[in-house]
Amino acid sequence: MANAYLIGHITVKENDKWQEYRNKVPATLEPWQGSLVFRGRLSAVLSGSHQHSDTVVIEFPDMQALDDWYTSPQYQALIPLRQEAAEMDLLTYEA
């Protein structure tokens, strides 16, 4: 089985709401064995263009686990808060 990765490119709009969202996400990952791989701020764009300032990478054991997490009632309940807190592009990859 291939590991699956969620990559989020983020521009924070409201810091307090973003912190609340970030604090609530880890509990939603646990049932699907999701784990934070990387969270950081953009340093430079060496080629092309990129509109967001932050990136997060979350690893799952497989794409089914990632999909189950994203569609779970626990995570779906956080989406309105996420939308208020930040602009975000979410991408999935298998490796």
CA atoms within a 13 Å half-sphere pointing along the CA-CB vector of 2: 7
Mean pLDDT, the chain, rounded, equals 97
Domain ranges, residue 42: 4-94
Task: Dig out the tokens for 14 from the structure.
Answer: 């409201």
CATH classification at residue 15: 3.30.70.100
The pLDDT, as a whole number, for residue 1 is 72
Domain count along the chain = 1
Say if residue 65's pLDDT is above 80. yes
Phi, psi of 71 (to 5 degrees): -90, 0
Pairing outcome for strands 4-12 and 54-60: antiparallel
Q: How far is residue 7 from each of residues 47, 55, 81, measured CA to CA in Å? A: 19, 7, 18
This prediction has a pTM of 0.93
The pLDDT, as a whole number, for residue 60 is 98
